[in-house]
Amino acid sequence: MKQIKNKPLFFQNSIPTVSYADGSKVEHQPLAEQSQLTNELFVIAQLNDGKKIIFNSRTISYKNEVFIAPLPNPVHLLINVGIENYNNSVITLGLFKNDCQLKENNKGVHLLNLGNDNTNQNFNNLIKFKITAVVSLITALEAFLNQVIPNDFIYKGFKKDKPYNFNKKQIESSSITFKVKLTDVMSQLIKKPHFSKQHSKIIAIIIQLYEIRRELIHMKTSSEDWLGLYFKITGGVIDIDLEKTIIALKKYMNLVQPNSLK
């Protein structure tokens, strides 16, 4: 699956004119000449074609060198982490057939080879890739939902069965469930009352992904024996159709904020 296009968190095409109160121009010292750099910067850079851009950055220091680049949007990074790990899971599935010690002829049943640790590395990798994809995709969506809500937005919902107005801080807290934020809050935000009903299939796929991520994060061990300890949680990870889930996630985001993902 092709990854989406990353976008900077903040990127401005025009360069503002900065001057002091008396009207004199502010002279900017080149970064290389500054004796000390702050961790957080607004940078004016010139591209190869002579065009100037301005972006915000968080510096990275490594072996006494400082590196600067535009901060990427975490939503895009996390979606691409999910897609990358989905792609890795597909590649890993293709390795299974050549990694078997026993095959039931004409039955399509295969026992994978066991290593020195009594597990199969390809099988382990498949679960690892899918876990990483699940966590990354839901984290991306949660960030997206918070990102698109304006600071002055008020959600008209209910609290203890009584009408209540929630501000953005309350929407981002545990006062509002993920499902309510995904459905009712977004419906009010984009002013489409029937949004959830019209796109119920997409939303159902996303909620299934969320439930698996929730189980993974808490990893509750209520089983009475080792056999069932993580059986349900791991089974959910193995069974989820990541391709269908990623497609649903991208469609949902573009419905809420058109052309936000490409």
Residues 53 and 114 reside in one and the same domain: no
The tens digit of pLDDT for each residue in 62-94 reads: 898 888 888 888 999 999 999 999 999 999 999
DSSP 19: B
Question: Sorting pLDDT into bands at 50, 70 and 90, what band is 150?
Answer: very high
For the cut 70, the answer to whether the pLDDT of residue 142 exceeds it is yes
Q: What angle do CA 143, 145, 146 make, to 5 degrees?
A: 65
Residues 204 and 128 reside in one and the same domain: yes
Q: Which residue has the higher pLDDT, 175 or 39?
A: 175
For residue 35, being part of any structural domain is answered with yes
Residues 83 and 52 reside in one and the same domain: no
Residues 86 and 197 reside in one and the same domain: yes
pLDDT at residue 81, rounded to an integer: 97
pLDDT at residue 224, rounded to an integer: 62
For the cut 80, the answer to whether the pLDDT of residue 96 exceeds it is yes
**Which is it for strands 40-46 and 11-12: parallel, antiparallel or unpaired?**
unpaired
**Amino acid sitting at position 156:** K
Residues 150 and 241 reside in one and the same domain: yes
For residue 245, being part of any structural domain is answered with yes
Question: Sorting pLDDT into bands at 50, 70 and 90, what band is 53?
Answer: confident
φ, ψ (nearest 5 deg) of residue 250:
-65, -40
Question: Sorting pLDDT into bands at 50, 70 and 90, what band is 238?
Answer: very high
Range of the domain at 196: 74-256
The tens digit of pLDDT for each residue in 174-227 reads: 889 999 999 999 999 999 999 999 999 999 999 999 999 998 988 776 666 655
Residues 79 and 62 reside in one and the same domain: no
Q: Is the separation of the CB atoms in 166 and 157 below 8 Å?
A: yes
φ, ψ (nearest 5 deg) of residue 157:
-125, -150
User: pTM here?
Assistant: 0.82
For residue 262, being part of any structural domain is answered with no
For residue 17, being part of any structural domain is answered with yes
For residue 98, being part of any structural domain is answered with yes
The tens digit of pLDDT for each residue in 151-188 reads: 999 999 999 889 999 999 999 998 899 999 999 999 99
Task: Report helix, strand and coil shares of the chain as percent, to nearest 5.
Answer: 45, 15, 35
Residues 62 and 167 reside in one and the same domain: no
Terminal CA-CA length for the chain? 13
For residue 126, being part of any structural domain is answered with yes
Question: Sorting pLDDT into bands at 50, 70 and 90, what band is 233?
Answer: confident
Question: Sorting pLDDT into bands at 50, 70 and 90, what band is 250?
Answer: very high
Mean pLDDT of 3-8: 82
Residues 49 and 119 reside in one and the same domain: no
For residue 199, being part of any structural domain is answered with yes
Mean pLDDT of 28-49: 63
Residues 207 and 247 reside in one and the same domain: yes
Number of domains, the chain: 2
Question: Sorting pLDDT into bands at 50, 70 and 90, what band is 35?
Answer: very low
Share of the chain above pLDDT 90, in %: 57
Mean pLDDT of 39-48: 72
